[in-house]
Amino acid sequence: MQAWCFICFNGSVMPDTPHIHRSAAAASNPLAQEPLPKIGLSPEDLAQMYRTMVLSRTLDERIYQLNRGGKAAIFGSAQGHEAAQIGCIRGTDPSRDHYLIYYRQLTAMLALGTTPLELLLGFLAREGEPLSMARQFPLHGAHPRVDLFSFSNVVATQVPQAVGVALADRMRQEDRVTIVFFGDGAASQGDTHEGMNFAAIHKLPVVFFCENNRFAISVPLRKQMAVENISSRAAGYGFPGVTVDGTDMIAVYEAVSAAVARARAGQGPTLIEAMVYRLLPHTTDDDHTRYLTKEEIDLMHREGDPIPKAAKLLRDRGLLSAAEEQTVKAEAQRTVNEATEKAEAAPYPPVEEMYRHVYSNSSGPSGKGSQ
Amino acid sequence: MAELTIRQAIQRGLEEALQNDPNVFIMGEDIGKYGGAYAVTSGFLEKYGPKRIKDTPISEATFIGAGVGAAAAGLRPVIEIMSISFSLVAFDQIVNMAANLRYMSGGQIKVPMVIRAPTGAGAQLAATHSQSFETWLAEVPGIKCVAPSTPADALGLLRSALSDGNTVIFAEPAQMYGVKGDVPDGRFTVPIGKASVQRSGGDVTLVSYGHGMRVLHSAAEDLAKRGIEAEVVDLRSLSPLDMDTIVASVHKTNRALTLDMARRTGGIMAEVAARLQEAASDWLDGPVARVGAEDVPWPYNRELEQEALPRVEDVLASLKKSYGI
């Protein structure tokens, strides 16, 4: 078997050959040193992004505990993806844009305004869960306040749907951008190729946001594709593709902001590939020690955890003291504890709920939110 | 009252929708200048423009997936699939998504979309181009499925489909676009979920849909020559299924035959027969007679294909076996 560098996940790079790691190369992002006004983010923006990342991590850990306690059926952890997701959402406009997410998006959902309580009600399948009324795989639901689409377990179905949402906006001349999230695994699905081609033909306002964590469950990139970067495929459809360090929230924010601006200007789609590490197994049902060594897992946590990186970024700019860092963690813990208590106290839905919402009884064209 | 073909009736329904509902647009392969594989959208591009008559790349999963997205976002897409055989590459978007989104989102998302597709064998198009997957799709909760066999039903059902809040599969019998019939004037509709008694009779109930109706009407003529009056029922809607009309007919005739021009095993008519056993076994003078296509892939050779398709003599033989008539 061909040797390959784990950090670069690249079969063409031998681990014992001197080279600049792909993640390290991306990490030397010159933007990180730029003054804030030039980046377009205020100190409060950065602090807010950091707080959401910490909240996501805290909630993520809690859901894992609930799963291990037999209370939450299944969970695909977002640990390692937090900076990519927060940077991406910050580069969009949640007051008007559309979001078609996938299953590893706890941070994105929190950033969009879904609350820890709502998400925990989903994991525990309790009555009053607003995303699906306890019908849907956790995190896959739609949301009445947030423009979120319900997601399928069949990987990549959201890509053509996102294209359709953008097509509807184009036809109604609405100034909205559709952001569709997917992983490197979904990049191999036909739906992804077809959807990108269709969006390119019509120059639709779509941002294809790929969180490349280098594994489709257990299958590494080198067994998923023969090219080094997914972003290079954009050229084949006729729009730009960029690869960014997904552990750097500012780099992601910049790339997404540019793509959104491009979409709003009528210049069509962009493919963004955010390189991240999946710090935990694929889901709570997976055990990644079956396909990763302990050294590799340790290395990944050392190189690829975006939260210490974000904390350092804030500290370097004088925006986060050691005391404040502790306060942020304590606040997140308190929020998650309160939400857990409330969610566990909520009742299960009545059996009759099973029969509701199979069909719509109303006629007339409609969209999300109507009956 | 005007005499129209099924093709013209569908055209009328689509044009009304394009004229009256700004949310309606049509998307599919070769529906523009080409006018559609069965010439249903002929002239539409010139009349309604490329914004509403959209030619697509050969990407069924994507133009149906995009239809799901556009419908959820508030439009009413009409998707044309060149053949229902080709729907398989988009089954995920139809079955997992269009049908489930409303339920999975606790009622938040609606997918009001019409998927039109020619269906059925009989034109020497072989195994991958002659399927009848409406019979599979009829099993899926969350979507509806209709198949007209007359011009009036085609228009009436299309009007209903175009004002329904759900995705409706509109299966068009591919060999029947040229069938003529009277179509009432005015904005009548045919409700989805209601079967139609096309011929009245008190001796035996014959049930089918789509292409099967031609076979049943011929069989009814033959039976009439022998003094047996058949009641001929067209399902029109495969989902929801109207068992009330069929059971009421069996109460009168005490005999029933189901005919499926799709493969006999596992088709919608197998469900009709099973439900008849449940709901009307006390009323039946014998087991429900069942006729369906042979359980083989569709052969290209004309003689073999015709052999695989149910014929009038199969219907008569099956009645003889079940009821001795």
At A244-276, the pLDDT tens digits run 999 999 999 999 999 999 999 999 999 999 999
- What are the phi and psi torsion angles at B28 (to 5°)? 170, 180
The 3-class secondary structure across A262-311, one letter per residue, is HHHCCCCCEEEEEECCCCCCCCCCCCHHHCCCHHHHHHHHHHHCHHHHHH
The answer to whether the CB atoms of B59 and A161 lie below 8 A apart is no
pLDDT averaged over chain A?
Answer: 90
Please state the domain extents for chain B: 7-183, 196-323
B145 part of contact set with chain A, CB < 8 Å: no
Question: Are B8 and B154 spatial neighbours (Cβ–Cβ below 8 Å)?
Answer: no
The per-residue pLDDT for A4 is 54
- B309 vs B175: CA distance, rounded Å: 13
Mutation to test the B interface, candidates A194, A196, A208, most B Cβ within 10 Å = A194
Enter the tokens of residue B127: 């195994």
- B302 vs A234: CA distance, rounded Å: 47
Q: Which of A161, A194, A364 sits opposite B69 (nearest CB)?
A: A161
Cβ neighbours of A358 in B, within 8 Å: 102-103, 141-142
Q: Which residues have CB under 8 Å from B161's CB, separation 6+?
A: B114, B144, B146, B168, B170, B192
Cβ neighbours of A164 in B, within 8 Å: 65-73, 77
- Report the share of chain A in percent with pLDDT over 90: 77
Question: Across the strands, what pairs with A207?
Answer: A179, A270
Cβ neighbours of B163 in A, within 8 Å: 363-364
- A197 vs A191: CA distance, rounded Å: 10
Closest chain B residue by Cα to residue A168: B70
Q: Which of B68, B76, B101 sits opposite A164 (nearest CB)?
A: B68
CA atoms within 13 A on the CB side of B1: 3
The per-residue pLDDT for B79 is 98
pLDDT greater than 50 at residue A2: no
Cβ neighbours of B107 in A, within 8 Å: 133, 356-357, 360, 371
The per-residue pLDDT for A6 is 59
- Report the share of chain A in percent with pLDDT over 70: 88
Sign of the torsion angle spanned by Cα atoms B31, B34, B38, B40? positive
Enter the tokens of residue A15: 């681990």
Strands across the sheet containing B53-55: B53-55, B24-28, B76-80, B114-119, B167-173, B143-146, B237-239
Kindly report the length of chain A.
371
Closest chain A residue by Cα to residue B97: A152
Question: Across the strands, what pairs with B146?
Answer: B170, B237
Confidence of residue A28 (pLDDT cuts 50, 70, 90): low
At A329-367, the pLDDT tens digits run 999 999 999 999 999 999 999 999 999 999 998 765 444
Question: Are A260 and A222 spatial neighbours (Cβ–Cβ below 8 Å)?
Answer: no
State the nearest Cα–Cα gap between A158 and chain B, in angstroms: 8
Sign of the torsion angle spanned by Cα atoms A296, A299, A301, A303? negative
The answer to whether the CB atoms of B106 and A152 lie below 8 A apart is no
Find the DSSP H helices in chain A.
22-27, 36-39, 43-68, 82-90, 106-111, 116-123, 158-171, 190-201, 221-224, 234-237, 249-264, 294-304, 306-316, 322-345
- A225 vs A232: CA distance, rounded Å: 12
Kindly report the length of chain B.
325
- Report the share of chain B in percent with pLDDT over 90: 100
Cβ neighbours of A150 in B, within 8 Å: 101, 104-105, 108-109
pLDDT greater than 90 at residue A141: no
pLDDT greater than 90 at residue A144: no
The answer to whether the CB atoms of A365 and B62 lie below 8 A apart is no
CB atoms within 10 A of CB B295: 10
Is pLDDT larger for residue A29 or for residue A145?
A145
Closest chain B residue by Cα to residue A370: B108
The answer to whether the CB atoms of B102 and A357 lie below 8 A apart is yes
- B140 vs B127: CA distance, rounded Å: 24
State the nearest Cα–Cα gap between A314 and chain B, in angstroms: 38
Sign of the torsion angle spanned by Cα atoms A90, A95, A98, A102? positive
Cβ neighbours of A154 in B, within 8 Å: 92, 96
- B2 vs A96: CA distance, rounded Å: 48
Would you give the distance in Å from CA A355 to the centre of its chain? Answer: 32
State the nearest Cα–Cα gap between A218 and chain B, in angstroms: 24
Question: Are B51 and B25 spatial neighbours (Cβ–Cβ below 8 Å)?
Answer: yes
The answer to whether the CB atoms of B106 and A360 lie below 8 A apart is no
Would you give the distance in Å from CA B290 to the centre of its chain? Answer: 19
The answer to whether the CB atoms of B165 and A359 lie below 8 A apart is yes
- For B196-323, the fitting CATH number among 3.40.50.880, 3.90.550.10, 3.40.50.720, 3.40.50.920 is 3.40.50.920
Mutation to test the A interface, candidates B75, B94, B105, most A Cβ within 10 Å = B105
B103 part of contact set with chain A, CB < 8 Å: yes
- What are the phi and psi torsion angles at A273 (to 5°)? -110, 110
Closest chain A residue by Cα to residue B114: A365
Question: Across the strands, what pairs with B293?
Answer: B263
The per-residue pLDDT for A238 is 98
Question: Are B69 and A165 spatial neighbours (Cβ–Cβ below 8 Å)?
Answer: yes
Strands A206-212 and B289-293: unpaired
B48 part of contact set with chain A, CB < 8 Å: no
Lowest mean pLDDT across A133-142, A159-168, B20-29:
A133-142
Q: What is the largest CA-CA distance in chain A?
A: 65
pLDDT along chain B (325 residues), means of 10: 97 98 97 97 98 97 97 97 97 97 94 98 95 97 98 98 98 98 97 98 98 98 98 98 98 98 96 97 97 97 96 98 96
The answer to whether the CB atoms of A363 and B102 lie below 8 A apart is no
State the nearest Cα–Cα gap between A245 and chain B, in angstroms: 30
At A81-128, the pLDDT tens digits run 999 999 999 999 999 999 999 999 999 999 999 999 999 999 999 999
Q: Which of B65, B72, B75 sits opposite A171 (nearest CB)?
A: B75
Q: What angle do CA A139, A144, A145 make, to 5 degrees?
A: 100
Question: Are A90 and A253 spatial neighbours (Cβ–Cβ below 8 Å)?
Answer: yes
Enter the tokens of residue A328: 């942020």
- A253 vs A271: CA distance, rounded Å: 14
Mean pLDDT calculated for residue range A52-57: 98
pLDDT greater than 80 at residue A315: yes
Q: Which of B96, B104, B166 sits opposite A157 (nearest CB)?
A: B96
The per-residue pLDDT for A371 is 39
pLDDT greater than 60 at residue A283: yes
Q: Which residues of A are catalytic?
A: 278, 282, 291
The per-residue pLDDT for A36 is 73
- B51 vs B24: CA distance, rounded Å: 11
Q: Which residue has the tokens 């807010």?
A: A48
Q: Which has the closest alpha carbon to A179: A58, A96, A300, A290?
A: A96
pLDDT greater than 50 at residue A370: no
Could you tell me the pTM of the whole model? 0.93
Closest chain B residue by Cα to residue A153: B96
Query: What dotted CATH number matches B7-183?
Result: 3.40.50.970
The answer to whether the CB atoms of B110 and A195 lie below 8 A apart is no
Cβ neighbours of B59 in A, within 8 Å: 160, 194, 197-198
The per-residue pLDDT for A1 is 37
The per-residue pLDDT for A348 is 96
The per-residue pLDDT for A17 is 55
The answer to whether the CB atoms of A167 and B66 lie below 8 A apart is yes
Question: Are A288 and A218 spatial neighbours (Cβ–Cβ below 8 Å)?
Answer: yes
B56 part of contact set with chain A, CB < 8 Å: yes
The answer to whether the CB atoms of B66 and A195 lie below 8 A apart is yes
Confidence of residue A140 (pLDDT cuts 50, 70, 90): confident
Q: Which residues have CB under 8 Å from A186's CB, separation 6+?
A: A102, A155, A156, A159, A192, A210
The C-alpha torsion from A38 through A41 and A42 to A45, rounded to 10°, is -170
Query: What dotted CATH number matches A42-233+250-263+275-337?
Result: 3.40.50.970
State the nearest Cα–Cα gap between B212 and chain A, in angstroms: 28
State the nearest Cα–Cα gap between A202 and chain B, in angstroms: 10
State the nearest Cα–Cα gap between A361 and chain B, in angstroms: 7
- B141 vs A276: CA distance, rounded Å: 39
Cβ neighbours of A165 in B, within 8 Å: 69-70, 72-73
b or e along B135-161 (b: 16 or more beta carbons within 10 Å of the residue's beta carbon)?
Answer: bbbbebebbbbbbbbbbbbbbbbbbbb
Confidence of residue A29 (pLDDT cuts 50, 70, 90): low
